[in-house]
């Protein structure tokens, strides 16, 4: 059974690791949403290539893929409010 101090330190450690992971993943070279865009592209490519037989359905899927990818990559703005609040409170 862990004591209160051990539980508290592990929670702080988890929070700090979470912040570090978020900072790493939200850098311009490696954003979370960019990863989602690649997953969407891969899934839609698979569906378009192997599962879709109709030309109309294929056109709809390709259009949706482009629009979703565009939305994810263009409208993504990293949240700076949490970082600014943390810096001001220190």
pLDDT tens readout for residues 20-69: 555 555 555 555 566 677 777 777 777 766 666 666 677 777 777 777 77
pLDDT of 8 reads 52
Question: 56 and 73 in one domain?
Answer: yes
Cα–Cα distance list, 3 to 10, 18, 34, 52, 85 (Å):
11, 23, 41, 57, 31
3-state secondary structure of 27: strand
**Cut 0.85: pTM above it:** no
Question: 37 and 24 in one domain?
Answer: no
Question: 38 and 15 in one domain?
Answer: no
Residue 36 falls within a domain, yes or no? yes
Note down the domain range covering 16: 1-30
Per-residue exposure over 58-79, b if at least 16 CB sit within 10 Å of its own CB, e if not: eeebeeebeeebeebeeeeeee
Long-range contacts of 43-51 (CB under 8 A, 24+ apart): none
């Amino acid at each position: 059974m862990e004591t209160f101090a051990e539980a508290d330190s592990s929670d702080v450690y988890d929070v700090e690791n979470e912040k570090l992971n978020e900072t790493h993943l939200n850098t311009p070279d490696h954003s979370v949403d960019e990863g989602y865009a690649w997953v969407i592209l891969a899934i839609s490519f698979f569906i378009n290539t192997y599962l879709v037989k109709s030309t109309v359905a294929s056109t709809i899927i390709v259009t949706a893929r482009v629009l979703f990818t565009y939305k994810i990559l263009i409208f993504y703005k990293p949240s700076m409010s949490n970082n600014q609040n943390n810096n001001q409170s220190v």
